[in-house]
Amino acid sequence: MATEGAASVGVRGRLAHALRLDELGRGWRRLPGRARALIPGLVLLTIAALYPLYVESLPSVPVIQEFPSVSTAVIMIVFVMMAVGLNIVVGYAGLLDLGYVAFYAVGAYTAGWLASGHFQQVKIHFGSAGISTDLQGIHINMWIVLLLAGMLTGIAGILIGLPTLRLRGDYLAIVTLGFGEIIPQFVRNADSLAGFNLTAGTFGINPIDSPGFGEGLNSAIGLPVNFQQSFEKVNLFYWSALALLLITIFCSVRLRDSRLGRAWIAIREDETAAAAMGVPLMRTKTWAYALGAFFGGIAGAFYASFKGGAFPSEFFFNISVFLLCMVILGGMGSVWGVVVAGAILAYLNQEGLANIGGYINDETPLEFEVTKYTFGIYGAIIVLMMLFRPQGLIPERRRASEIEEGVHEGDTLYGERHS
């Protein structure tokens, strides 16, 4: 036994020596703390950024079979963006929003209005990237449209928020749910508002332009003129989605640590105490709504551009619950938790559940259509998380302590229930 152990130590030692692991470790420890925190992120980012280049050569794994395709990855990133946006409202500020899909819809339709041939009556082109100027309709450069969509959705968020944020807790949830139901029905029916075709009804607005950089940047530094005309369209969408997601995460983290973010957390923990400390409740909550909506709008517009259309059949309450499920699973308020949980759930929704279902039906005697019960599964996830791990898989430190120790005993949404 003893010799065996010595031998294994010897082997390990030799191996470590051969790979110069000990020197590497020493060098690693000598790095400043900031760099040490940064390097894993950079490695992950590199792996993510190169994903389209090596996904084809990845082996298939048991149970889930194939790795997600690049277009699935784009959708995953879009949903993660929305979840990060929702996390601002639900996680940071503690306002339960059950109608987030409304912001997605507003974003998608803004893209439809400002970057397609929907308004045949006019011909407006601005900063257009590789889109023929002969086309009727409004064609604004998609990058600008994304920003405009974010701002318009933010304004929509403020408009929804102003009258309703006065209400506390569960009433707010119901009102947002109401808006989440009204807006999709509105876009479905608004194909003849006093004879004016605003949303093209059930057909939806399509095609929507793709982003691009135009001729000038193309000849200068080789950026693609327009994604639509490129051979690697999906990859281009993937990389821009990744860039947008990074910006979103960066903003989200910076917001959390800002004065505004601390005010949100104060409100979440105890509204009354926060107000007594001089936090302006209405303004702070409205900001949470507007900023959460902003990212939802950008993600919605980008998604519409990726799919080339905005269709009313996509905006259902289910999407709101799906996003909420991501936030809960990851841990309310925890950005990284939400990113991980969002990626997993969006993958499951797009490909994973179908693959797993196929595996179950092929390999076991069970006959079970997993995809049919998608939302039942999400429901079960939500309930189980609430029962056994309400702080989420990767909890935010502060939130975990709130749940364990409880906060001020008041009748606030997050306070212990008055009894």
Partner 1 sequence: MLGILFIVLIAIWLVRNFIDSPQEFINVALIGLTTGSVYALVALGYTLVYGILQLINFAHGDVFALSGLISSSIMIDVLHLSGDEAVIVVIGGLVLTLLMTMGFGSTINASVELIGYRRLRSQPRLTMLISAVGMSFIVQNIGLAIYGVNFRSSPDLIPSRPAFTIGEVSLGWNKLTIVLITIPVLVLLTWLVRSTKQGKAMRATAQDQDAAAMMGINVNRTISFTFLLAGGLAGAAGVLFLLQFNMRYDTGFELGLIAFTAAVLGGIGNLAGATLGGLLIGFIQAFNEGLTIWSLGSDWTRTIVFGILIAILVFRPEGLLGERTPEGA
Taking CB under 8 A as the rule, does residue 328 contact partner 1? Answer: yes
Told to check if 168 binds partner 1 by CB under 8 A, we report yes
- Residue pair 157/103 in contact by the 8 Å Cβ criterion: yes
d(CA 287, CA 154): 9
Q: Least distance (Å) from partner 1 to the CB of residue 97? A: 12
Q: Which of 22, 23, 66, 170 binds partner 1 (CB under 8 A)?
A: 170
48 near partner 1, judged by CB under 8 A: no
How far is residue 5's CA from residue 3's CA, in Å, rounded to a whole number? 5
Say if residue 207 is preceded by a cis peptide, omega within 30 of 0: yes
Nearest to 301 by CA among 189, 151, 413, 171: 151
Within 10 angstroms of residue 222's Cβ, the number of other Cβ atoms is 8
Give the separation between CA 96 and CA 83, rounded to whole angstroms: 13
Q: Which of 155, 159, 273, 382 binds partner 1 (CB under 8 A)?
A: 382
396 binds partner 1 (CB under 8 A): no
What are the beta bridge partners of residue 61?
Answer: 65
Contact indicator for 408, 270 with CB cutoff of 8 Å: yes
Q: Which is nearer to partner 1, 48 or 96 (CB)?
A: 96
| Smallest separation, CB 277 to partner 1 (Å) | 20
User: How near is the Cβ of 386 to partner 1 at its closest, in Å?
Assistant: 4
Q: Does 415 bind partner 1 (CB under 8 A)?
A: yes
Nearer to partner 1, 145 or 321 (CB): 321
177 forms part of the interface with partner 1 (CB under 8 A): yes
Q: How far is the CB of 377 from partner 1 (least distance, A)?
A: 8
Q: In angstroms, what is the minimal distance from the CB of 375 to partner 1? A: 5
- The torsion angle over the Cα atoms of residues 282, 284, 286 and 289, rounded to 10 degrees, is -140
Structure tokens at 263: 């005010």
Residue type, 254: R
Q: Does 386 bind partner 1 (CB under 8 A)?
A: yes
Q: Any contact of residue 166 with partner 1 (CB under 8 A)?
A: yes
Q: Which stretch binds partner 1 (CB under 8 A): 44-52, 54-62, 141-149, 176-184?
A: 176-184
> Residue 190 or 253: which CB sits closer to partner 1?
190
> Where do the H-state alpha helices sit in 88-168?
101-114, 142-164
Single residue of 198, 274, 321, 339 touching partner 1 by CB under 8 A: 321
Stretch that binds partner 1, among 119-127, 141-149, 359-367, 369-377 (CB under 8 A): 369-377
Query: Which residues are CB-neighbours of 296 under 8 A, at least 6 positions away?
Result: 82, 85, 86, 100, 103, 104, 107, 153
H helices present in 165-201, as ranges: 169-189
Minimum CB separation of residue 185 from partner 1 in Å reads 5
Tokens of residue 162, six digits: 């102003």
Which of 14, 166 has the CB closer to partner 1?
Answer: 166
Half-sphere exposure of 145 (CA within 13 A, CB side): 33
Binding mask 71-110 for partner 1 (x = CB under 8 A): -----------------------x-x-x------------
Q: Is 129 in the site for partner 1 (CB under 8 A)?
A: no
- Could you give the CA distance from residue 305 to residue 75 in angstroms, rounded to a whole number? 12
DSSP 3-state of 205: strand
Kindly state the smallest distance separating residue 125's Cβ from partner 1, in Å.
Answer: 35
Please give the Cα distance from 395 to 393 (Å, whole number): 6
The residue within the footprint of partner 1, chosen from 48, 125, 143, 186 (CB under 8 A), is: 186
Q: Measured from the CB atom, is 29 or 417 closer to partner 1?
A: 417
Give the residue, chosen from 123, 125, 188, 233, that forms a contact with partner 1 under the rule CB under 8 A: 188
Size of the site for partner 1 (CB under 8 A): 48
Binding of partner 1 at residue 143 (CB under 8 A)? no
Exposed e or buried b per residue across 29-44, where buried means at least 16 C-beta atoms within 10 angstroms of its C-beta? eeeeeeeeeeeeeeee
Sign of CA dihedral 60, 61, 63, 66: negative
Please identify, using beta-carbon distances, which residue of 22 and 416 lies nearer to partner 1: 416
Q: Applying CB under 8 A, does 290 fall inside the site for partner 1?
A: no
Q: Are 89 and 98 in contact (CB under 8 A)?
A: no
Task: Point out which residues bind partner 1 (CB under 8 A).
Answer: 94, 96, 98, 163-164, 166-171, 173-175, 177-179, 181-182, 185-186, 188-189, 317, 321, 324, 328, 372-373, 375-376, 378-383, 386-387, 390, 403, 411, 413-417, 419
